[in-house]
Structure formats: structure tokens, C-alpha cells
Amino acid sequence: MKAIVSVIGRDRTGIIAKVSGKLFEMNVNIEDISQTVMQSAYFTMIMMITLPDGVGIADVNAALAPVAAELGVEIRAQHEDIFNSMHRI
């Protein structure tokens, strides 16, 4: 199952390290990653991930919730189909 992880918030050190570290612990593969910093402070990172069998999106969200709290950013994992259905015919 493929999902999109988005991280949105104020830029600071360690965002990519902490998020990807947590995903590594869950054996989640990161297929693609892109990030931008807008208006010099607003950080956006998008990751395309593949979940191993037995790991659901709810599990990923639960694991990332403490990371989001620690970093002071919003993190959400969503199944890729919500984006595909909205933007692709």
C-alpha cells in the first residue's frame, strides 16, 4: 500500500531525520521525497512511502504523532488514492 506523508510547519533542524528515522523503525520504505521552505520559514515536506504488510496508515499516524508534537509541526499520512482521485481523471 502506498501513502503520502506530509509535514507542514515552521522550519527547524532535524525534521527529515526524525520523520524518516521513525518510518525506518516501522520498516516503511520511502520512495520519493521533496521539500520546500516557503517565505523563509514555512516548511513543507512530502514523502511517498510504501507500507510493509501488516502496517496500516493508522499505525503510521499513531507512530508519527509524538514526532509531530516534539517538532511542533503537523504530520499526516494519507492513502495515495485520495490525491489520485482528486487530481487524475
Chain residues binding another protein by CB under 8 A are 4, 6, 8, 34, 36, 44, 46, 48, 56-58, 61, 74, 76-87
Long-range contacts of 9-13 (CB under 8 A, 24+ apart): 9/42, 9/43, 9/71, 9/72, 9/73, 9/74, 10/41, 10/42, 10/43, 10/72, 10/73, 11/37, 11/40, 11/41, 11/42, 11/43, 12/43, 12/71, 12/72
Closest CB 36 distance from another protein, rounded Å: 7
Closest CB 83 distance from another protein, rounded Å: 5
Of 9 and 22, CB closest to another protein: 9
Closest CB 17 distance from another protein, rounded Å: 20
